[in-house]
Amino acid sequence: MGTYLWRRLLLFIPSLFGMSVIIFVLMRLVPGDVAHILVYESGTEYSQAAEKQVEKIREELGLNRPLVVQYVSWIAGLARIDFGYSYWERRPVLKILQERFPRSLELATLTFILAMILAVPLGVYSAVRQNSWADHFVRAFSISGLSIPLFFSGVLILYLLVGVFSWMPPLEYVSIFEDPMENLRQLIWPAVAQAFYVSAPIMRLTRSQMLEVIREDYIRTARSKGLREQLVVYKHGLRNALLPVVTFAGVLAGRLLGGQIIMENIFAIPGMGTALVAAVGFRDYPTIQALVFLTSIIYLTLNLVVDLLYGWLDPRIRHA
């Protein structure tokens, strides 16, 4: 296991290098740059003086240097945990990450916990009670989660809270360390909307895997020994059924942290999603690169955690 772990950690280097090149190149393919936006945003008319100002800003920001030089400078900064300087917000990108990342991480964690609490037990119960009214209800519930767009779920919840219950979720973000209850009141509803969407495929996958497992010979043997049904289902059956579920849940967890733009905008949560939208609009290259690069690191880390969980869930798996 130790050799496998070190091997996977070493694979981080080429993976991150390839990802950094893709991020850097794609950003430069987008037309326009921040220098034009800074000069012409206030309605400045096109003129030679304005163009000189644009060139001056490009020189100050290093945008007129060769792309290779810009890339090497960015990578050298990453090695020093220096993500650069935000052209638009006029402050270090590290400050933006320190401010925005914990909020998105909190929302993603709360969403993932709610989704797993909802999906796995219902998926198991639906499989054990196959073709019962409970099974039909769970299947209809999961299909609705797959069918309803995420943005519609968020808007619908917000409409019900405001229009039906006459209650507006807090619009100003409060840290969990300052006021945990106020923080929960703001994050619980976008987390519920996302959990409804995320739990649906996990629920269906859990059900299908459990249906396969409970028909295996070792499950019949366990039952023939007189073991309690709960012990047979949850200890012998669920542990083996969770392998593909863990893989899929790990992928969704990585997507959650980088794909919360919709919920953060609907519920006015100043997280990484809203920061990324603003950075793209203003061609703020350092901020975009830092946000996407951080998401890539988290995604690769989650894949490693999922692989290691395989060995714990199924001792038959051996990492050479």
Whether residue 62 lies inside any domain: the answer is: no
Whether residue 318 lies inside any domain: the answer is: no
The tens digit of pLDDT for each residue in 153-165 reads: 888 888 888 777 7
pLDDT for the residue numbered 87: 76
The answer for 132, left when phi > 0, alpha when psi is -120 to 50, beta otherwise, is: beta
Whether residue 259 lies inside any domain: the answer is: yes
Q: Please name the residues in contact with 26: beta carbons below 8 A apart, sequence gap of 6 or more.
A: none
Whether residue 163 lies inside any domain: the answer is: yes
Whether residue 271 lies inside any domain: the answer is: yes
Whether residue 40 lies inside any domain: the answer is: no
pLDDT for the residue numbered 318: 57
Whether residue 100 lies inside any domain: the answer is: yes
List the domain range (segments joined by +) for residue 134: 93-313
CATH number of the domain at 232, please.
1.10.3720.10
pLDDT for the residue numbered 297: 84
Q: Which residues of the chain have pLDDT under 50?
A: none
Cα angle 151, 299, 259; round to 5: 15
The tens digit of pLDDT for each residue in 98-112 reads: 888 888 888 888 998
Partner residues linked to 92 by β-bridges: 85
Cα–Cα distance measured from residue 192 to residue 56, given in angstroms and rounded to the nearest whole number: 48
pLDDT for the residue numbered 117: 92
Whether residue 207 lies inside any domain: the answer is: yes
pTM across the whole model:
0.80
Buried b (16+ CB within 10 A) or exposed e, 283-310: bbbbbbbbbbbbbbebbbebbbebbebb
Taking residue 263's Cβ as centre, other Cβ atoms within 10 Å add up to 28
Q: How many domains, in total, are found in the chain?
A: 1
